[in-house]
Amino acid sequence: GDSVTQMEGPVTLSEEAFLTINCTYTATGYPSLFWYVQYPGEGLQLLLKATKADDKGSNKGFEATYRKETTSFHLEKGSVQVSDSAVYFCALTLSGGGADGLTFGKGTHLIIQP
Amino acid sequence: DSGVTQTPKHLITATGQRVTLRCSPRSGDLSVYWYQQSLDQGLQFLIHYYNGEERAKGNILERFSAQQFPDLHSELNLSSLELGDSALYFCASSVAGGITDTQYFGPGTRLTVL
């Protein structure tokens, strides 16, 4: 079945460091790809998305490019801040008639130290 | 604030009992999704409703059921509760349920089964 694999962490970085969180997927069709972020005690917020190959999603300094050839959607940010500390989820949707929900990775806990 | 509301925020009950979780989607959204988040299973898609009709089922147990009403709010019913049903239950909504549509998540209902 469809699946998403991402590093689970925790990933600990210093403020202003470069961030990469790897995400790869397995899908039988042509999915849309998403990164969601969950801050402590809150629901999930969409961070960015890409719906076709070579699309780049970006938001708040985060970027991810849909790479069909490597089935990847790695999340990057050039300079992280303490406020970026959260759990990050990579996810996909794949139409089985246009109705399926998101398939999530296990989440990556990111800790940014001042 | 995503515009998706969920009630109650917390629910504590006993094994064997039945509970109902409620979700109101964002204004104008026709699709409602339910997800379960637990430490061992991660985030799992349960069920999707579009404009009152069931569109897709994910890993939803037979003891669980849902419906979407004419005013588009949705309820998730959990019966014969077991300790393992303790989890965060999220509702999400999107405009039309397409695979490129963004799903907006509510704050969740934390269910504790004692």
Question: DSSP string spanning A8-74?
Answer: ---EEEETT--EEE-EEEE-SS--EEEEEEE-TTS-EEEEEEE-STT-EEEETTEEEE-BTTTTB--
Tens-place pLDDT, residues A7-45? 888 999 999 999 999 999 998 888 999 999 999 888 899
Binned at pLDDT 50, 70 and 90, residue B91 comes out as: very high
pLDDT digits (tens, 9 = 90+) for B93-106: 999 878 788 899 99
Q: Give the pLDDT band of residue A96 (cuts 50, 70, 90).
A: low
* CA atoms of B66 and B22, how far apart (whole Å): 10
Residues 6+ apart with CB under 8 A from A95: A29, B98, B99
- Residue identified by tokens 């917020």 is A45
Which residue among B2, B55, B98 places its CB closest to the CB of A43? B2
Q: Is the model's pLDDT at A60 over the cut of 70?
A: yes
Q: How far is B84 from chain A (nearest CA, A)?
A: 18
Q: Is B97 within 8 Å of A103 when comparing Cβ atoms? A: no
Is the per-residue pLDDT at B63 higher than 60?
yes
User: Looking at CA atoms only, how far is residue B80 from chain A in angstroms?
Assistant: 25
Q: Cβ-count burial of A72 within 10 angstroms (0-12 exposed, 13-18 middle, 19+ buried)?
A: middle
Residues of A in contact with B46 (CB under 8 A): 101
Contact A95, A102 (CB under 8 A): no
* pLDDT tens-digit map of B13-24: 999 999 999 999
A79 CA to chain B: closest CA distance, Å?
26
pLDDT at position A5 is 96
Average pLDDT value over all residues in chain B: 94
Q: Are strands B5-7 and A32-38 parallel, antiparallel or unpaired?
A: unpaired
Q: Which residue of B has its CA nearest to A89?
A: B43
Partner-chain contact A46 B103, CB within 8 Å: yes
Q: Which residues on B lie below 8 Å from A34 (Cβ)?
A: 102
CB contact under 8 A, A102 and B56: no
Contact B72, B51 (CB under 8 A): yes
Tell me what the mean pLDDT of segment A56-78 comes to: 97
Percentage of chain A modeled with pLDDT above 70 = 96
CA distance A69 to chain B (A): 20
* pLDDT for B73: 97
